[in-house]
Amino acid sequence: MASLCIHNAKLVTDTIASGGVLVEDGRIAACLRGNERASADVVIDARGRLLFPGFVDAHVHMRDPGQPQKEDFGSGSIAAAAGGITTVMCMPNTKPPLDSLSGLDQARKAGESRSFVDFALQAAVLPSNQQAMASLWDAGVVSFETMLADGPAGEAYVDAALLLDMLAQAAVLGARVGVYAGDQTVIEAKLDRLRKAGRTDFRAFAESRPAISEALGLARLMEARHATGAGIIARQVSTARGFEIVTAAKAKAPAGILVEVTPHHLRLDATALARFGPYAQMLPPLRSKADVTAAQAATASGVVDFVGSDHAPHALAEKAAADPWSCPSGTPGLDTLAAAVLDLAAGGIIAYVRVAVLLAERPAQAFGLGDRKGRITVGLDADLVLVDPEATLRVTPEVIRSRAGRSPFEGMTLRGRPVLTVLRGEVIAEDGKIVVDRPRGRFLRRARAS
């Protein structure tokens, strides 16, 4: 493997300092300081731009295997690499679902044959497959994922006793459980009223999942976590009240509770539903402007541990629905994750060193990959992304490489754009284009209990 030197950069670690890196055999061999430049087969002048660790997206629905019309590892990982993401953690709602060793094997083979970036797998845990938790954990999945509401029919953990039992099993294994929090009874009552009223506008979908549903779900989750001692990830927290609940809980158990926010809940509010209709429909729904402000404050302060894209693509024909009740929920996020967060840094809302934590260091560490990914440190994989903080990304359908094709970020100009992506010492993307001739991704097993 060719050696690589990137010099004349601003290294983003715990601080921002002039320097660079020397890469040998796919790993970081040395961190250069100031104007240092090392001899290497490939030498890249960063021209003073920001050099981050490769970004790690802990919330990706690749739809592979089983739903190639929506996405597969090939198209999704191209979007990831172009956007500065070098590691993706894939969600289990594939066909077949990743809820067994057979499902794990099929997902792993799909990724190994098609992914341009490294990938880890997250397993579904449902009332019907709790007996598979130990075998899946031993096989190297990085988390278990479940829902308290909006889950598969009859499979959401709406029963508190079942939830407690599952979290107790996770605690014994040392596994983290990612949880989408909501209250199914509130949602069903709202849905019934809205449908009886004849509502078919896309704002009705947001009203069917009100903030109180998230708050009740999070409150129940925090109490169940406290009772069992399990490690949890509060996925996709989206409301001001939700952030208040997780802030209070984290103060008592900072190591046991991780909090995720998505870029769309950081940047978009419910008014986008009027502009984009089905393309702005996701779970949880877009919220109020006050909720967006609360999300940004929690992200800047450290309450939020990482930003996950919740990349959830659907084919354009599937999204072109006349009403919210027939429209699948989800939006692509791999193309715009980094730019949406970098734009917040450019605007002074969060610090660039915080971006490195949110998009690389914390998700890698939290899911048992910190011995290889997430930091610019000697000995770790040379996963790097060079960012031009002044370059802009105008979001149009043409820049969405995902098969989903449309994004609720359309029309926004985001400042701060990845211009070079390096995976294990090899440049795989430049200026939004893939520059390697075949997939390079590897399956990442969890190194240790997270």
Q: Give the separation between CA 425 and CA 26, rounded to whole angstroms.
A: 4
Q: Give the separation between CA 17 and CA 31, rounded to whole angstroms.
A: 11
Q: Give the separation between CA 315 and CA 68, rounded to whole angstroms.
A: 9
Single-letter code of the amino acid located at 394: R
Q: Give the separation between CA 121 and CA 111, rounded to whole angstroms.
A: 10
> Which of 145, 136, 95, 89 is closest to 117 using CA atoms?
89
> Which of 232, 253, 220, 212 is closest to 125 using CA atoms?
232
Residues 6+ away with beta carbon under 8 Å from 423: 54, 81, 86, 116, 117, 118, 383, 440, 441
Kindly list the distances between the CA atom of residue 267 and the CA atoms of 40, 336, 345, 347, 412, in Å, as whole numbers in the listed order. Answer: 41, 11, 12, 12, 10
Burial status of residue 124 (CB atoms within 10 A of its CB: 0-12, 13-18, 19 or more): buried
> Which of 173, 133, 115, 166 is closest to 334 using CA atoms?
115
Beta bridge mates, 9: 19
Is 310 in the active site? yes
Cis amide leading into 92 (omega within 30): no
* CA torsion, ordered 351, 296, 215, 171, to nearest 10 deg: -20
Radius of gyration over every alpha carbon of the chain, rounded to an integer in angstroms? 21
Burial status of residue 98 (CB atoms within 10 A of its CB: 0-12, 13-18, 19 or more): buried
Q: Give the separation between CA 57 and CA 273, rounded to whole angstroms.
A: 25
Number of Cα atoms under 13 Å in the Cβ half of residue 178: 30
Instruction: Classify 235 as helix, strand or coil.
Output: strand
| Distance from chain centroid for Cα 317 | 25
The single residue of 72, 269, 310, 381 carrying the catalytic annotation is 310
The DSSP H or E segment spanning 30 is strand 27-33
8 A C-beta contact, residue 221 and residue 234: yes
User: Which are the catalytic amino acids?
Assistant: 310
